[in-house]
């Protein structure tokens, strides 16, 4: 599958590297290719020669699945740059969290309670098939869940399009996830985005990001 | 230990019944004793003869530990009726969630993101030793956790007073909880209160309230 991963940070690199390793054709999208290449990208790219790099629109144009791995603030600008027409009809896996660091640490959420970033993206790009997922755990566990309790923990999908959720669920299963819970429509992204505050506190208490919730039932 | 349980609903009854079963002297506090007796209280009370019933202030006056098992909206009025002086120096276990059903189902939170009900209660009653706990699971699992996965799931405590958290943690252990995670000060109650949206969606998806999260690490 052709996959565009928008975002060159820790999450974008984790998803791009893992998807390429699994045989997908992956292009990472960035705002400005030259700026990204001038940073520490080249070192990472040398270790991942199969992953391409392009501007947001070029990366998205021929992708079947687009991953929003930008920061919460950067999501709508990046997707706008990718282009509404380039997103139309495509599965858009949204991993971003709307974190607001303006008041210091821990961050609050800039969208919360009666709305979510997932919903905002779906409203802004009504022809995209948005699926919120993987925003509830650290990047290394998103892509390599079996390293913790042999994968015995849970992730979630939220979205209005059942087929898009099926495609994302299959991708998650290929990463090693064994418990992907379908919470319902895109409004259920409020629930997973609102997990961030307890995630941040658990990170502080446990002293590691390698943890996740298992929904015991 | 003398325990006052403020609130006559499902949560209050569960905590009161379990604490009495474990040998504590329990009085349930209510706004108006006659009104409570005129409802379905008598049937429950007949099955739990060791549990007393009194007004908020009378129930609280000689308790060592006070449980806020009211609804979120009812918490501050009930605690005000219990009396600031009656709460001073005491452990105040706050189980309430600030649910707002004004916009229909699922409810939103009336306090969220940069504040929490737990913090509001601590600010309103600075001499009480507030511990937020048990607000993340259904009443029957609060008091009988071993019925699910032999208790292999997590609960949380948040509060500014280490000794108060120790007392609550011991009470939770006596109920059967084996993984009580201390998240830190009372501001960490934001994290557990913000679990409610995903809890409500999981309740809908799973079709049962008998589930909980296990923090796998």
Q: Where are the domains of chain A?
A: 2-206
Percent of the residues in chain A that have a pLDDT greater than 70, as a whole number: 100
Cβ contact B194–A190 (<8 Å): no
pLDDT per position as a tens digit, A103-151: 888 899 999 999 999 999 999 999 999 999 999 999 999 999 999 999 9
Nearest-neighbour CA in chain A from B98: distance (Å):
12
Task: Give per-residue pLDDT as tens, A13-38.
Answer: 999 999 999 999 999 999 999 999 99
φ and ψ at B60, to 5 degrees?
Answer: -85, -30
pLDDT at A167: 98
pLDDT score at B104: 85
Q: Once rounded to an integer, what is the mean pLDDT over residues B24-39?
A: 97
CATH of domain A2-206: 3.40.50.720
8 Å CB contact of A184 and B198: no
Closest CA to B176 of B12, B18, B8, B16: B18
Q: Is B213 on the interface with A (CB under 8 A)?
A: yes
Residues A179 and A153: beta-carbon distance below 8 Å: yes
Rounded to a whole number of angstroms, the distance from the CA of B46 to the nearest CA of chain A is: 32
B191 contacts chain A (CB < 8 A):
yes
Instruction: Please give the residue of chain A at the shortest CA–CA distance from B217.
Output: A211
Among all chains, which residue has been given the structure tokens 């009161």?
B16
What are B118-159's pLDDT values in tens digits? 999 999 999 999 999 999 999 999 999 999 999 999 999 999
Rounded Cα gap, residues A132 and A97, in angstroms:
10
Q: ipTM of the assembly?
A: 0.96
Residues of B in contact with A202 (CB under 8 A): 181, 183, 191, 215
Mean pLDDT of B185-208: 98
B99-100 and B108-109: which strand pairing?
antiparallel
Residue A153: which of B103, B184, B216 has the nearest Cβ? B216
Is residue B209 within 8 angstroms of chain A, CB to CB? no
Rounded to the nearest angstrom, the minimum Cα separation between B45 and chain A is: 31
- pLDDT single digits (tens) A155-179: 999 999 999 999 999 999 999 999 9
Whether chain B has a CB inside 8 Å of the CB on A6: the answer is no
Residue A107 touches partner B, C-beta closer than 8 Å: no
Of B156, B197, B214, the CB nearest to A214: B214
Looking at residue B133, what is its pLDDT? 98
Residue B105's pLDDT band (cuts 50, 70, 90)? confident
- The nearest CA of chain B is from the CA of A188 a distance in Å of 7
Residues from chain A contacting residue B204 (CB–CB below 8 Å): 184
Alpha-carbon distance of A134 to A154, in angstroms, equals 10
Q: What is the pLDDT of residues B157-174, one digit of tens each?
A: 999 999 999 999 999 999
Closest residue in A to B115 (Cα) is A108
pLDDT of residue A137: 98
Q: Residue B176 contacts by C-beta under 8 Å, 6 or more apart in sequence?
A: B144, B145, B146, B151
| Inter-chain CB pairs, A–B, below 8 Å | 108
Find the CB nearest A211 among B149, B202, B216: B216
d(CA B186, CA B38): 37
Tell me the nearest-neighbour CA distance from A203 into chain B, angstroms: 10
Beta strands (DSSP E) in chain B are: 2-6, 25-30, 52-55, 65-68, 91-94, 99-100, 108-109, 129-133, 154-159, 179-184, 212-216
Instruction: Please check whether residue A215 is in contact with residue B211, taking contact to mean a CB–CB distance below 8 angstroms.
Output: yes
Using the Cβ of A137 and the Cβ atoms of chain B, whether some distance falls under 8 Å is answered with no
- Arithmetic mean of pLDDT, A64-91: 97
For A140-143, which contacts have Cβ atoms below 8 Å and span 24 or more sequence positions?
A140/A14, A140/A209, A140/A210, A141/A209, A141/A210, A141/A212, A142/A11, A142/A14, A142/A15, A142/A95, A142/A175, A143/A14, A143/A15, A143/A17, A143/A18, A143/A175
């Amino acid at each position: 599958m052709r996959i565009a991963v928008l975002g060159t940070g820790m999450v974008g690199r984790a998803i791009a590297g893992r998807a390429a390793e699994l045989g997908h054709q992956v292009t990472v999208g960035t705002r400005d290719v030259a700026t990204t290449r001038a940073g520490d990208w080249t070192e990472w790219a040398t270790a991942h020669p199969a992953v391409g790099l392009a501007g947001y629109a070029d990366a998205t144009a021929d992708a079947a699945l687009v991953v929003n791995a930008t920061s919460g603030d950067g999501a709508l600008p990046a997707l706008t740059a990718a282009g509404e027409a380039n997103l139309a009809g495509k599965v858009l896996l949204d991993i971003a969290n709307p974190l607001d660091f303006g008041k210091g640490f821990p961050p609050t959420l800039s969208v919360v309670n009666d709305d979510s970033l997932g919903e905002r993206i779906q409203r802004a790009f009504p022809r995209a098939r948005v699926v919120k997922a993987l925003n509830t755990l650290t990047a290394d566990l998103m892509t390599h869940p079996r390293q913790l309790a042999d994968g015995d923990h849970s992730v979630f999908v939220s979205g209005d399009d059942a087929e898009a959720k099926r495609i994302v669920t299959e991708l998650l299963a290929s990463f090693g996830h064994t418990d992907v819970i379908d919470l319902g429509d895109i409004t259920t992204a409020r629930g997973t985005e609102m997990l961030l505050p307890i995630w941040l506190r658990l990170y502080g208490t446990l002293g590691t990001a390698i943890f996740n919730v298992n929904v015991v039932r």
